Amino acid sequence: MSARADGLIKLMQQKTDEILSFEPRLIEFLTWVNQKASQIETKRPQSFVRAFYFIYSLSREEIISPLDSTTIEPEMDLDRLLLNFLSNLKKLSKTSESSSEVFTAWDKVKADLQIINATIQLTSFPSKDSFQTGWQETMETLQLQSDMQEQWMDNLGAVVSRLQAHLIRHRDIGHDWHFSDAEIETLQEYYNANQLLLDCLNGDCYVSRQLQKQVRNTLFRV
């Protein structure tokens, strides 16, 4: 039984790795995921950290994942909040001032900002001082107000660009990958395959400890 289970897991791992074999842009993305995950100090397995940045570096609508309710380290939580904030700002910048949706988007941005500011104060991470300085300067240009002024909306695109550059420089997040629909489907397939592997390892079938360790260590790994 052990041999059959080990053989099946090895085959699944091989098929999972082959999904991105001929996708250089997706391999580039996965390489970044690995590099970013290696920068995070945590007791969690690196495979979990890689899965986290795999998910949250893509649009929330693009990849379906069960990670939303997972408790994570403060530094990772800050990155998640910052990425969501950037995404919501981008949506707001593309919303017409005459649209009723602009007020909903605006309220979401203000709520996100309050949470982020509190999280920054409670979180320790490398280069925090330089990050905070640039963050505060960028938020000042955002000119958060309760009324939607035309000048503010006109400047929002520039603020988004400045914020994105700041996140890339100081947190190495917020990159624009510009994946096509087909590439997103491939990434979803790759994510699902890794999740299936993990489900099998956590399931009832017996797999040798050596193979368990090897597979877990290579999930979402280049």
pLDDT tens-digit map of 146-166: 455 555 667 788 889 999 999
Task: Determine the Cα–Cα distance for residues 177 and 3; give it in Å rounded to an integer.
Answer: 41
Cα distances (Å, whole numbers) of residue 131 to 69, 97, 137? 27, 31, 10
Q: What is the pLDDT of residue 51?
A: 93
Q: Which of 52-66, 77-91, 125-139 has the lowest mean pLDDT?
A: 52-66
Higher-confidence residue of 35 and 156: namely 35
pLDDT, residue 146, reads: 45
pTM of the model: 0.86
**Residue 198 structure tokens:** 């993990």
For the chain, the average pLDDT equals 86
Those residues with Cβ within 8 angstroms of residue 125's Cβ, 6 or more apart along the chain or in another chain: 75, 78, 131
Which residue, chain included where needed, has tokens 């091989």? Answer: 14
pLDDT of 116 > 90? The answer is yes
In order of 75, 136, 192, 197, 211, the CA distances from 206 in angstroms are 35, 53, 21, 13, 11
